Amino acid sequence: MIFINVQVKEVKAVNETNNIIRLHVIANSDSNLDQALKLKVRDEILNNLEILKYLRNNDIAQNYILKNIPSLEEKCEAVIIENGFNYPIKINLTASSFPTKVYYQKVLPAGEYKAVKAVIGKGEGKNWWCVLYPPLCHIDWFKEKENYNILKEEAISVMAPVAENKNNLIANYKKILLNVWF
């Protein structure tokens, strides 16, 4: 017996990248220990920047981040040391390149975004990213922490443009998820 479930969801592509602040955490290496440490540092950053979801605009969010980078670095260094490592960490607010990413009903196109960039040690490992402002990271993070069954990796996703706004601000896409159970 085979069950097939097809879902069609409307997804919006957003090109207003000036109002978005992303998070980019880069591990020291690809070793399992360094990757686990990266996630603990990510958690520390998200815990300390959770306030961003209550701020009114991007400028206020950026000012808050800039003001708190030294404290954030100290807290992340403590996490690194607590876990038995002596890697340095460098955190800054900078422009970074990101690939296209789907966050629920929004598609962020590939490009340069302002980002809180946290580089652990040599920064030669796999990275983790999300959107800090507006606060989409916390949605991903809470779902991950609560072990929600998100089918992003198991599902077959097909992105097909169905309409494009003349102002190039928002393009509509349909996301088709095909799940097959045996």
Q: What is the pLDDT of residues 10-53, one digit of tens each?
A: 444 444 567 899 999 999 999 999 999 999 999 999 999 988 88
pLDDT score, position 47:
92
3-state secondary structure 136-170: CHHHHHHHHHCCCCCCCCCCEEEEEEEEECCCCCE
pLDDT score, position 138:
55
- Indicate the pLDDT class of residue 60, thresholds 50, 70 and 90: very high
Does the pLDDT value for residue 173 go beyond 50?
no
Q: Which residue has the higher pLDDT, 59 or 104?
A: 59
pLDDT score, position 91:
98
Residue range 158-182: mean pLDDT, rounded: 36
Report helix, strand or coil for 73: helix
Residue range 75-89: mean pLDDT, rounded: 97
Q: 100-143, pLDDT tens digit by residue?
A: 887 766 788 889 999 999 999 999 999 998 888 887 775 554 44
pLDDT score, position 81:
97
Whether the full predicted model's pTM is greater than 0.85, yes or no, is no
Counting beta carbons within 10 angstroms of the beta carbon of residue 39, is it exposed (0 to 12), middle (13 to 18) or buried (19 or more)? middle
pLDDT score, position 30:
97
Find out whether 121 and 28 touch, Cβ atoms under 8 Å. Answer: yes
pLDDT score, position 160:
28
Report the mean per-residue pLDDT for the chain: 75
Does the pLDDT value for residue 90 go beyond 80?
yes
